[in-house]
Structure 1
Amino acid sequence: MKNEIQELYLSNKAKIEQEVKQLELAINKNSFYRLAVILLGGAALFYSFQLENLLLVLILLFALIFLFAFLVNRQSKLEKRSDYQKALLAVNVNEIEIENKGINIYDNGAHLEDNKHPYSADLDIVGAHSLFELLNRSTTKSSIAVLGSWLLQDAKRSEILMRQEAASEMAKDMNWCQDFQAKLLSNLNQKLDVKSFLATYFQSDDFAFGNSFMRLYVKIAPFFFLSTVILAVFIPAIAFLPVIVGLVHILWPMVNGGKISFFSSRIDKVGNLLDSYAASMELVENRTWTATRNKELQERLKIVGSSDSVSQAFKKLGKLINNLDARNNMMVGTILNLIFLWDFKQVLAIVDWKAKYQADILESFDTLAEVEALVSLGTWERNHPDWATPVILEALDTPLQAVDLLHPLIPTAKAIANTYTNEDHEIALVTGSNMAGKSTFLRTLGINAVLAYAGAVVPASSFEIPIFHLISYMRIKDNLNESTSTFKAELDRMKFILETVAQRPDSFFLIDEMLRGTNSVDKYLGSRAIIKKLISEKGRGMVATHDLQLSTLADEYPKLVKNYHFDIQVIDGEMLFDYKLKIGECKIFNASMLLKGIGVDVEQGRN
């Protein structure tokens, strides 16, 4: 089934590439028509001036203006269609690249890295080559934060189940999801946080613009100007009147140019982004949802006491901002001000928009962020149709059950499935040979638990897990900036583990080779004491170690500790790894063979 999904992406890619080519051809033709209107229209106007026929001049002028405006508008629509198709192409190409090369155009969450987080750094949750890098399909800063919180923070069972249902509904509708993604792709790598920007902007003094006279005159300005033009045609003696009115219409905005420029320079930078928000919100509003969470999010996009939806409000603001941008074209801006007092008209409309919609608009960013994060989960599920939806268990003491569990960051062709349950013990003590798979298995269980709590599918035949508070002790390093040695860093981390287990009965720890920064005797005695401390605190979790002597703890605590191991097969002097979890302590170790492989003979060390 996974291959079928990839074939669908490839088919989409081919179709969209053909559509983009056709649009590019249409855009080039339209550009030629615009140039022709400018050159031929200019020549026609020059000829009409020679005839000294004012009526003919005016007819030609307005005809050229409207024809040019039509072509500009057509160009804009063609370019928008082209941009959308290119975005849709990028969405499909990205899915192909992720599958083939593990490269994702979306943010990898590196800014969310925190070495003091309970498990993030140890389980490769965020940053380069992480779970977030493969999972994320969010472009907006708010949505990246939401998806990050789902992977890095505890969640209630009810919330997880709603995410599962919502993401599953989206997974079944690839066209809708890709349409949604394409409309928001312009936000990709966008440094500006639109929500924060608008929140600050709405509080600006810029909105104290205009007065009652300006508002009244702006409404009648085009009728007044056109009336003077018509009068001038029939009464040549007052031909100067439209000239005076036109000059007023042009000079008045210029006098207020500082205020208008300050106004537009701050708001026009988000005009196109708002269009993308409006289009994506409209998709959410117009779809018929069945999942509870999706219906709730759709309901949140309604504006109380108004027939308008949030997407309509965004469209209005985006249109007003883009209209105001017309002033940046000197010729177009002059003509629009000449007839409509365009700058004033748009600024006043934006002021009115703010008064009507401000209260509802900011909340919609949070709603959209969650939808975008759910699209990430839905895409993840669609791309892995054979993976399992985790069963989130209600009772903390219900056994964890993982059947054929794989690591999601290891290619399926290379990953080895393992089955595990803690139904007859609280702590799994995993011993084994070097490079046999102990650490990877701990990370496999941990990262799949993170996926399950986020609401995503996991690579397993089945996965049942209570809601644990995950904590880990794996990649412990020294820190020169903090003058912290490896052993001190280990002590600090272990202190955190012990305190968390003591304070939170729902903790589940993953400990890999503790106290490696000290001598072998203290390492063994310290490790033994720590495990006993965890047992006394009724802790749950896994401990991976090379200290085979620690396996005797299973004899001391037969109902609480159980031995597991990863071993090797040695055939004709060659080590073979099967990376399979087995019950019992390890009997075969391979350090001496690995050292011999780099030219170090352990036997010489005995002499």
Structure 2
Amino acid sequence: MQLPINQEYQQRVATKSAELTVLNKKINAVSLFRLFVIVGGAILIFQCFRTEIVWLSLVSVLFVLLVFMGLVSKQSKLERIKKAAEDERWVNQNELDIWAGKPNGYADGAEFFDSKHPYTSDLDVFGEASLYALINRCSTPEAIVRLAGWLDKAADPSTIAERQEAIKELAAKLNWTQRVQAGLLFNRQEKINYERRFATYLNSPLLNFAGKALRLYVKVGPWLLLLAIGLSFFIKPFTGIAVVIGLIHLLMTIGYAGTVTRVSAGIDKMSNVLAAFAAVFKQVETEDWQSALNKRLALQLYFEGKQPVSAAIKDLSDIISRLEYRNNMLIGGLYNIFLLWDFRQVFAVLAWRRDHQGHVLGAFDAISHFEALISLAALHRNHPDWSLPEISNSGQRSLVAIDLKHPLIPALQSVANTYRMENHRIALITGSNMAGKSTFLRTVGSNMVLAFAGAPVCAAHMLVSVVHLVTYMRIRDSLHESTSTFKAELDRMQMILQSVECDKEAFFLLDEMLRGTNSVDKYRGSKAVIQKLIADQGTGIVATHDLQLAKLAEENPGIVQNFHFDIQVHEGEMLFDYKIKDGECTIFNASMLLRQIGVIIEE
């Protein structure tokens, strides 16, 4: 029996915590054993040297060194496993935090906030407690930008359908999606655009490093040194020759150090990062995909549809890791004296670039796409009562929403409403103060944003045409721009009217127009605006306190239809049901609300 998703997350947190307890004990045991090997090994080597038996002394040193290196390798492996377990635990704990109403640990998209955008600022799309903050599970900068783009611009119907199919498949792959999230979590913390950095490196000119003679010597030089060392045991002059060859190798390394640095610039210290990306690439490559979009993205991780990118990136990671030995003066010096190490790794880097330069960046693009889809899939998985909307292709403007709720209001506090745009193009909503008009407009708009991104909506069912949203809700003055509230309203209204006039796909949501002027001009101006929207064949929803505007429904049958939110008064107490109803509002509550704060209005 499948657990409810929040219980599944709790169980996974508990499992990973137990794993980490065991891992910490193992790591501590290995650390203690390393200390024992250092102390015990020193005693062993000392005793062997006292025997003055050369071969025994050398064997003891080699034995202690091998045991110590084995323990270092073992601890490094345990540390990697521990880091992976910590990341997976964080991913699950973050889901529990979101479930409990705490902030999402991923970015909230505040950098994308734009007060002049047609709808994102009015509908809480970006920033704290926003749609983006609810949805985002992206770590890489590319994915963060991609997901934002999906929310601030409607996709076409075929793209929406592809995304819906993809997120249904991903939502069922909890283990896989969490491994990918955990594998990329390092980028959430570091906030470095590794794809751009890597692309800059790959697109930089290839250095013409070394001629044929040097390349040939790099191949034979270490063998010459080995031969000289071997012969020195039998022919004494070869000892000096071996020393000279070693010094030549060291001087060559020093002489070419600047060139080696230029070759590695841009990817130095990236071996662990590339290894992490390679592991994520492999997760995609080895998964069985059914949806068309996921299959197409997975193909971007193969060269010409055959060789996996993960193997190539892992090869480069290993080369860089070996090149980083040069950062340790002792190890780097010995490796370069005996093996001309830096030269070999630089040649390997240049060969890798020639073979793969134009083929790997598509893999990073595919991963950012998967991250954005995983974000939508998490929303689908976490809210099984939400539905994937049906996108209308009838050519007629459609909007049917059954049991529609605001996606950012907790389920126990939200009220479901059903709305059908039938026999009208403009819904005119009147109503009492605080009865739910503004929230309803944001509910419709927020769910449209989700629908047009390919995400599930907070409704039992939704049928909607792809439209271009424009909103008029939160109008602010601006000291910085020397703009009054009324001027800001006029600027916003001009944008709305131009959008409706020029774009037949525009859909407006207008909440209480022209608040910054007197009541007479407010009514006359609002009426004129609605009449222009009617004349321009506009479609949308208008919320207002001006009851006189309700007469527009009588004057424009089949175009404007009245709806309202009201209150019930029981024993002097106001009761709100936040339900949309047909017709104009007949119950108002401003006097009662003012009376509650000590202001009495004369009858």
Q: Which TM-score applies when normalising by structure 1?
A: 0.94
Residues 107 and 189 in structure 1, CA contact (< 8 A), matched pair in contact too: no
2: CA distance, partners of 1:567 / 1:597: 18
- Residues 522-531 or 588-597, more deviating: 588-597
Pick closer, same or farther for the CA change 1:134–1:252 going to 2, 3 Å. same
Residues 218 and 340 in structure 2, CA contact (< 8 A), matched pair in contact too: yes
1:317-328, aligned counterparts within 5 Å?
317-328=316-327
2:429 is the alignment partner of 1:430: yes
1: CA distance, partners of 2:495 / 2:432: 28
Question: How far has the Cα of 1:302 moved from its partner?
Answer: 1.1
2:513 is the alignment partner of 1:514: yes
1:52-451, aligned counterparts within 5 Å?
55-56=55-56, 58-204=58-204, 207-235=207-235, 238-264=238-264, 266-304=266-304, 308-451=307-450
2: CA distance, partners of 1:338 / 1:23: 39
Pick closer, same or farther for the CA change 1:43–1:242 going to 2, 3 Å. farther
Question: How far has the Cα of 1:483 moved from its partner?
Answer: 0.8
2: CA distance, partners of 1:224 / 1:415: 80
Residues 197 and 266 in structure 2, CA contact (< 8 A), matched pair in contact too: no
2: CA distance, partners of 1:216 / 1:63: 35
Question: How far has the Cα of 1:497 moved from its partner?
Answer: 0.5
Residues 54 and 233 in structure 1, CA contact (< 8 A), matched pair in contact too: no
1: CA distance, partners of 2:508 / 2:52: 91
- Residues 186-195 or 422-431, more deviating: 186-195
Aligned amino acid, residue 378 of structure 2: T
Question: Which string of whole-angstrom CA distances, capped at 9 and with x for unpartnered residues, describes residues 251-286 of structure 1?
Answer: 432333333345446322432222221111111111
Question: How far has the Cα of 1:426 moved from its partner?
Answer: 0.4
1: CA distance, partners of 2:592 / 2:549: 23
Aligned amino acid, residue 448 of structure 2: A
Question: How far has the Cα of 1:465 moved from its partner?
Answer: 0.3
2: CA distance, partners of 1:216 / 1:330: 26
Aligned amino acid, residue 417 of structure 1: A
Question: Which string of whole-angstrom CA distances, capped at 9 and with x for unpartnered residues, describes residues 464-523 of structure 1?
Answer: 101111110111101111111111111111111011101111111000001000010000
Aligned amino acid, residue 515 of structure 2: R
Question: How far has the Cα of 1:556 moved from its partner?
Answer: 0.4
Aligned amino acid, residue 150 of structure 2: W
Residues 198 and 266 in structure 2, CA contact (< 8 A), matched pair in contact too: no
Secondary structure of 2:298 counterpart? helix
2: CA distance, partners of 1:30 / 1:209: 43
Q: Which residue of 2 aligns with 1:598?
A: 597
Quick one: percent identity of the two aligned structures? 47
Aligned amino acid, residue 143 of structure 1: A
Question: How far has the Cα of 1:70 moved from its partner?
Answer: 3.0
Aligned amino acid, residue 369 of structure 2: E
Aligned amino acid, residue 441 of structure 1: F
Question: How far has the Cα of 1:395 moved from its partner?
Answer: 2.5
Residues 269 and 324 in structure 2, CA contact (< 8 A), matched pair in contact too: no
Pick closer, same or farther for the CA change 1:251–1:28 going to 2, 3 Å. farther
Question: How far has the Cα of 1:336 moved from its partner?
Answer: 2.9
Q: Which residue of 2 aligns with 1:585?
A: 584
Pick closer, same or farther for the CA change 1:299–1:501 going to 2, 3 Å. same
Q: Which residue of 1 aligns with 2:564?
A: 565
Pick closer, same or farther for the CA change 1:290–1:153 going to 2, 3 Å. same
Pick closer, same or farther for the CA change 1:503–1:282 going to 2, 3 Å. same
2: CA distance, partners of 1:28 / 1:225: 42
Secondary structure of 1:403 counterpart? strand
1: CA distance, partners of 2:249 / 2:47: 28
Residues 570 and 576 in structure 1, CA contact (< 8 A), matched pair in contact too: yes
Aligned amino acid, residue 168 of structure 1: K
Secondary structure of 2:561 counterpart? strand
Aligned amino acid, residue 419 of structure 1: T
- Residues 245-254 or 191-200, more deviating: 245-254
1: CA distance, partners of 2:209 / 2:496: 59
1: CA distance, partners of 2:178 / 2:514: 49
Aligned length: 603
Pick closer, same or farther for the CA change 1:297–1:380 going to 2, 3 Å. same
1: CA distance, partners of 2:260 / 2:37: 31
- Residues 579-588 or 313-322, more deviating: 313-322
2: CA distance, partners of 1:54 / 1:317: 41
Question: How far has the Cα of 1:215 moved from its partner?
Answer: 2.8
- Residues 339-348 or 590-599, more deviating: 339-348
**Structure holding more helix per residue:** 1
Secondary structure of 2:285 counterpart? helix
Secondary structure of 2:579 counterpart? coil
Secondary structure of 2:501 counterpart? helix
User: How well do the aligned residues superpose, as a CA RMSD in angstroms?
Assistant: 2.2
Q: Which residue of 2 aligns with 1:29?
A: 29
Question: Which string of whole-angstrom CA distances, capped at 9 and with x for unpartnered residues, describes residues 64-111 of structure 1?
Answer: 554444333323222111111111111000000000023211111111
Aligned amino acid, residue 560 of structure 1: I
Question: How far has the Cα of 1:597 moved from its partner?
Answer: 1.5
2: CA distance, partners of 1:296 / 1:489: 45
- Residues 345-354 or 170-179, more deviating: 345-354
Secondary structure of 2:351 counterpart? helix
- Residues 132-141 or 395-404, more deviating: 395-404
2: CA distance, partners of 1:449 / 1:348: 54
Residues 9 and 96 in structure 1, CA contact (< 8 A), matched pair in contact too: yes
Residues 2 and 384 in structure 1, CA contact (< 8 A), matched pair in contact too: no
Name stretches of at least 5 consecutive residues in structure 2 with no aligned partner. none
Residues 119 and 471 in structure 1, CA contact (< 8 A), matched pair in contact too: yes
Aligned amino acid, residue 479 of structure 1: S
Question: Which string of whole-angstrom CA distances, capped at 9 and with x for unpartnered residues, describes residues 405-433 of structure 1?
Answer: 01110000100000001011100001111
- Residues 141-150 or 266-275, more deviating: 266-275
Question: How far has the Cα of 1:229 moved from its partner?
Answer: 3.5
1: CA distance, partners of 2:527 / 2:388: 37
1: CA distance, partners of 2:439 / 2:588: 17
Q: Which residue of 2 aligns with 1:456?
A: 455
Question: How far has the Cα of 1:590 moved from its partner?
Answer: 1.1
2: CA distance, partners of 1:433 / 1:527: 18
2: CA distance, partners of 1:208 / 1:481: 54
Secondary structure of 1:359 counterpart? coil
Secondary structure of 2:507 counterpart? strand
Question: Which string of whole-angstrom CA distances, capped at 9 and with x for unpartnered residues, describes residues 364-392 of structure 1?
Answer: 22111111111111111111112111000
Q: Which TM-score applies when normalising by structure 2?
A: 0.95
Residues 123 and 446 in structure 1, CA contact (< 8 A), matched pair in contact too: yes
Pick closer, same or farther for the CA change 1:3–1:304 going to 2, 3 Å. closer
Secondary structure of 2:386 counterpart? coil
- Residues 506-515 or 27-36, more deviating: 27-36
Question: How far has the Cα of 1:208 moved from its partner?
Answer: 3.5
Residues 102 and 134 in structure 1, CA contact (< 8 A), matched pair in contact too: no
2: CA distance, partners of 1:241 / 1:400: 87
2: CA distance, partners of 1:585 / 1:331: 85
Pick closer, same or farther for the CA change 1:529–1:422 going to 2, 3 Å. same
1: CA distance, partners of 2:250 / 2:9: 53
Residues 267 and 321 in structure 1, CA contact (< 8 A), matched pair in contact too: yes
Q: Which residue of 1 aligns with 2:530?
A: 531
2: CA distance, partners of 1:374 / 1:548: 45
1: CA distance, partners of 2:534 / 2:327: 71
2: CA distance, partners of 1:24 / 1:205: 46
Question: How far has the Cα of 1:50 moved from its partner?
Answer: 6.0
- Residues 414-423 or 76-85, more deviating: 76-85
Question: How far has the Cα of 1:188 moved from its partner?
Answer: 0.5
Residues 284 and 298 in structure 1, CA contact (< 8 A), matched pair in contact too: yes
Question: Which string of whole-angstrom CA distances, capped at 9 and with x for unpartnered residues, describes residues 285-310 of structure 1?
Answer: 111100000111111211128x5311
